[in-house]
Amino acid sequence: MADRCPIRPARSADAPVLAALERQCFGDPWSEASFREALSSPFCFGLIAASVDGRALGYLLGRDVAGSGEILNLAVAPAQRRKGIARTLLDAALDWFAERNAAEVYLEGRESNGPAQALYRASGFEAVGRRGRYYRQPTEDALVLRLAMPARA
């Protein structure tokens, strides 16, 4: 599935679609206004994995500041999970960070989200910390993960 799933940049106009997808995936979702604000920031970027008919199947939001990258959010529609979409989005984001010479990339993830933790670890991320009670609905700690990016010539 993921090899037939094109990735395109997200724009502020995509905020309603991303907010709807966010509500399907998370108990404490970002608002449409939050997506619009992030996507209009010069430091942030968004990627959308789309179906052949253009429907958003998943998205990733990230930012790059002073040589460090951060993945803010990664979500895949529940009916589309386990098809490689998250991996495709993550790989595209890591390419984006590499093109901008980011030295490292961070993210927070729910400690209980085994599939996401496995994806990140398979991509080379390592746990470097914990944020107590970081998530709400349900309340849970977040693991802080870091990936050291390879130096580019």
pTM: 0.93
**List of residues 6+ apart from 20 with CB closer than 8 A:** none
Summarised one tens digit per residue, pLDDT across range 57-105 is: 999 999 999 999 999 999 999 999 999 999 999 999 999 999 999 999 9
**Residue in 63, 26, 21 with CA at minimum distance from that of residue 46:** 63
Q: pLDDT tens digits for 17-63?
A: 999 999 999 988 999 999 999 999 999 999 999 998 889 999 999 99
CB-CB contact of 62 with 96 (8 Å): yes
What structural domains and CATH numbers belong to the chain?
A: 2-148 (3.40.630.30)
Backbone angles phi, psi at 6, to 5 degrees: -65, 150
Question: DSSP letter string over 72-137?
Answer: EEEEE-GGGTTSSHHHHHHHHHHHHHHHTT-SEEEEEEETT-HHHHHHHHHTT-EEEEEEEEEETT
Rounded Cα–Cα distance for residues 133 and 29 (Å): 16
Question: What's the full length of the chain, in residues?
Answer: 153
